[in-house]
Amino acid sequence: MQYNRRNFLKTASASTLAALAAGAPLSGFLASCGAKSAATADTVILLWMAGGMAHTDTFDPKRYTPFEKGLDSQRVLSTFKAIPTALDGIQFSEGLENMATLMDKGTLIRSYVAADLGHILHSRHQYHWHTCYEPPQTVAAPHIGAWIAQELGPKNPVIPAFIDIGQRMTVGEAEELKAFHTAGFLGSEFGPFMIPDPSSGLDAVKPPAGMSFSRFERRNQLYTELLDQSPIGEYASDYQKESFRRSMEQSYRLLKSPEAKAFDLNDEPKESYDIYNTGKFGLGCLMARRLTEQGARFISVTTEYEPFMGWDTHENGHVRTRDMKKLIDAPIAQLLKDLDRSGHLDRTLVIVASEFSRDMVMEGRPGAEVLHQVEQPDVINDIKNYGMHRHFTDGCSMLMFGGGIKKGFVFGKTADERPCKTIEKPIRIEQIHQSIYHALGIDPQKHAVVEGRPFYTTPDGVHKAELELFGG
């Protein structure tokens, strides 16, 4: 069956209702039978480049061809010059100078292969990356942050274990985004604490303007009483209702705690604030650093997915990619330096990733027939046609730092000529997820029993961590 947006939404809605109705599975909800590894990380920060970041114009540059009128589009592999990094012989593309100086502190993966999901749609591939399951599912698959929150719990009982920074649910494809920003059948208490805009993050942990704490307490009590009259009260199992109540209690506890100041970026010294302040994403990196210092467990910071915005460069790709680099380069580098300086990087796994890559000419996976998302002229006469327009899934780059990951290491390789696909050491999302769990010391066969059937963190519970990413 070919899944389009409507089919995805229809099945996602049904799986959400199924999750609400599901009772707590047996055996204390989770069951494990494998051998745990010794944890090398306590915290994960996922820096999400939403929209499809072209590997050939970021962390895996190829032959550079400058823009000129009359340019043969087939000649263009990279639209930025290559620059050196801290690793001999390894280059990034122009605009990532700050991150390039830190490449001796982490691992560069150049061979991530995104799944072949038929139609190449951002929300479907993002769902797959964040849950490890191909959408749609008959149950609401938990986000990787929710699995981690459930298994390890909060490091600080006041700070939510799973925090998502920067993604609004009022933009295009909002319902599809909601489908994976969830704990699913694990229960609401393990779902993301959403901070759509870090510049106003403190608003998320205090009563609305003009409302006293006593009045807020009365409203909170009334809200709890109204719960039974809501769809959750009508359709949810006792387990799900209790999980929802616990999530409300956790939020209320944070509201009254001194740790809530971590969400107030106005407390940050101006010199530091100004480095991070490239926009919402940069301030999200600053908040991630402050929350890591306060004991957060899993933090996602996104450039935010909104159709045809950000990294979703269907037009004017070169100029827009240049502007996106200005938003991410200094904040990511500063986050890594700050974590390293404070000693937190050793136990914090920082990941920079995107749902898939891009190419000017190729669409999808080489040899697979897919619908072209945009027309690319054979001859380029306008700068708007110079850049990475089409979705490409067979070669993507990813960065990992800290948390036991090797320093100054490159994993995998892509071809130097089109199609610039993976030619050495392909790595897929199942291995990425298991590698993250491995760093955290989570059993590779961890699973929940849902309606009498095992549901593993990665499909079928047969996947393994890529151990070559770890070490001295």
pLDDT tens-digit readout, 67-104: 999 999 999 999 999 999 999 999 999 999 999 999 99
Q: What is the mean pLDDT of residues 455-461?
A: 95
* DSSP helix/strand/coil, 387: coil
Q: What is the mean pLDDT of residues 381-400?
A: 95
How many residues are there in the chain? 472
pLDDT score at 89: 95
Confidence class for position 214, pLDDT limits 50, 70, 90: low
Distance CA(171)–CA(273), nearest Å, equals 27
Distance CA(11)–CA(233), nearest Å, equals 22
Residue 437 has pLDDT above 50, yes or no: yes
Distance CA(181)–CA(397), nearest Å, equals 23
Distance CA(32)–CA(92), nearest Å, equals 41
Cα 360 to Cα 55, 73, 80, 378: the distances in Å are 12, 7, 13, 10
Residue 193 bridge partners (DSSP)? 163
Question: Would you tell me how many other CB atoms lie within 10 Å of the CB of residue 34?
Answer: 12
As given in the structure block, the two tokens for residue 136 are 């749609």
Report pLDDT digits (tens) over 143-178.
999 999 999 999 998 899 999 999 999 998 889 999
Higher pLDDT, 343 or 256: 343
The answer to whether residues 281 and 51 touch, using CB atoms and an 8 Å cutoff, is: no
Distance CA(116)–CA(403), nearest Å, equals 30
Report pLDDT digits (tens) over 329-366.
999 999 999 999 999 999 999 999 999 999 999 888 77
Percentage of residues in the chain with pLDDT exceeding 90? 67
| Model-wide pTM > 0.85 | yes
Confidence class for position 120, pLDDT limits 50, 70, 90: confident
401 closest CA partner among 443, 466, 463, 352: 352
Residue ranges of domains in the chain, CATH in brackets? 5-469 (3.40.720.10)
Report pLDDT digits (tens) over 34-60.
556 799 999 999 999 999 999 999 999
Q: What is the mean pLDDT of the chain?
A: 87
As given in the structure block, the two tokens for residue 403 are 């948390």
Which segment, 12-21, 112-121, 360-369, is predicted with the most confidence on average?
A: 112-121
pLDDT score at 394: 95
Distance CA(327)–CA(283), nearest Å, equals 10
**CB-hemisphere CA count at 13 Å for 347?**
14
pLDDT score at 147: 97
**Phi, psi dihedrals of residue 400, rounded to the nearest 5°:** -135, 135
| Cα angle for residues 374, 95, 99 (degrees, 5° grid) | 115
Question: Would you tell me how many other CB atoms lie within 10 Å of the CB of residue 230?
Answer: 13
